[in-house]
Amino acid sequence: MDFIAIGIDPTEKLSDLVAYKQAQGYPWPVAEAPSGMLPAYSITTQSTKIGVDESGVITFREGYGVKSADFWNQVLQKLAS
């Protein structure tokens, strides 16, 4: 399973995303959203989390909100199976 954080703020440059990732100690890669990605995935709020399987089918969607580590462990285990 791959995890990528994609920045959707048009005022942020990739270098800003990389600096934030490094400052927070996040191990995953970061990227800028390509043109057309937000409407293609119906992303309307920041911090939208989407799980996409190997066929490109969305298998998980969660909007903005703080969740526990236990919640995310369960989500990732389900996505990995």
Provide the pLDDT for residue 16: 93
Query: In the structure, what pLDDT confidence band is assigned to residue 61 with cuts at 50, 70 and 90?
Result: confident
- Residue 46 and residue 64: Cα distance in Å, rounded? 6
Domain count, the chain: 1
- Range of the structural domain that residue 21 is part of: 5-80
Say yes or no to pLDDT of 58 above 80: yes
Q: What percent of the chain has pLDDT over 90?
A: 21
Whether 10 shows a pLDDT value over 90: the answer reads no
Residue 56, both tokens? 């490109």
Give the integer Cα–Cα distance in Å for 16 and 50: 22
Q: In whole angstroms, what is the distance from residue 43 CA to residue 22 CA?
A: 25
The answer to whether the pTM exceeds 0.75 is no
Q: Please check whether residue 68 is in contact with residue 59, taking contact to mean a CB–CB distance below 8 angstroms.
A: no
Task: Calculate mean pLDDT across residues 24-41.
Answer: 88
d(CA 59, CA 65): 18
pLDDT of res. 25:
92
